[in-house]
Amino acid sequence: MTIAYDDVLRWIRDFAAEISDNKQYLSKLDAAIGDGDHGVNMDRGMQAALGKLDAVPEKDVGAALKAVGMALISKVGGAAGPLYGTLFLQLGSATAGKTELSAQDWSSALESAVKGVQARGKAEPGDKTMIDALIPARDAFREAAEGGVSLGDALERSSVAAKEGMEATVPLVARKGRASYLGERSAGHQDPGATSSHMLLRIAAEVWKDS
């Protein structure tokens, strides 16, 4: 039960397509509590990332993920660029040289990625950020994988946990980023970063369900 290199590419491509299809939606979420460019910025970054995938050394999962990270860092701007850039760079470092990923590999990669995002953005759970989707997803995957659940089911549980975490950002008052300036007025809106993070994990569960 492993995730093959081509599956990883499929995940990246499907995530890019999902962002593209939902860029107006993500920007609309962002307009309510931020500066309204999350979808457009992420779409620009993921499209640039797709262009880098062809130059990746053969079948190196880590190199592909790093290429995505570098593209996001140089093309997204705002806060999302360094945060998603870091997420993918850390996924890449954790999987460097691998041609396929086991459940344990993905668990460690998620662990590094979340750690990297937290170190960069300094957000804690409950601050109304992407961390609120990522941490439950990481924990759910690790528990499921350690409990002997199949890779596909573990990914599904991780995706569900991300969704719950994303939905739980609605009533929260933002304590990080531009949304924090709104104080109480930020409550009642779903966080756009948590929303795109949920997409990332949901697409992983969909693309890799038969792995």
Partner 1 sequence: MKKLINRPEDVVLESLQGAAHAHSDLVRVNFDPHYMVRADAPISGKVALVSGGGSGHEPMHGGFVGMGMLDAACPGEVFTSPTPDQMLEATKAVDGGAGVVHIVKNYTGDILNFEMAADLAKEESIQVEAVVIDDDVAVKDSLYTAGRRGVGTTVLAEKICGAAAEQGRSLKDVADICRTVNSSGRTMGMALTSCIVPSAGEPTFQLGDDEMEIGIGIHGEPGRERSALAPSKEVVERLAEPIVSDLPFERGDEVLAFVNSMGGTPLIELYVIYNDLVRYLEGKGLKIARNLIGPYITSLEMAGCSITLLKLDDDLTSLWDAPVKTPGLRWGV
- Alpha-carbon gap, residue 15 to 12, rounded angstroms: 5
Q: Does 26 participate in binding partner 1 (rule CB under 8 A)?
A: no
Give the DSSP H/E element, type plus range, for residue 155.
Answer: helix 151-167
Whether residue 119 contacts residue 182, with contact meaning beta carbons closer than 8 Å, is answered with: no
Q: Which of residues 125-164 bind partner 1 (CB under 8 A)?
A: none
92 near partner 1 (CB under 8 A): no
Cα–Cα distance measured from residue 155 to residue 84, given in angstroms and rounded to the nearest whole number: 20
Q: Does 115 bind partner 1 (CB under 8 A)?
A: no
Which residues, in sequence order, are bridge partners of residue 3?
101
CA distance 176 to 33: 11
By CB under 8 A, name the one of 116, 121, 136, 165 that touches partner 1. Answer: 121
Per-residue mark of binding to partner 1, 59-78 (x: CB under 8 A)? --------------xxxxxx
Q: Using the rule CB under 8 A, give the single segment among 145-153, 164-172, 177-185, 201-209 that binds partner 1.
A: 177-185
Residues engaged in binding partner 1 (CB under 8 A): 35-37, 41, 73-79, 81-83, 85-86, 120-121, 173, 175-178, 180-183
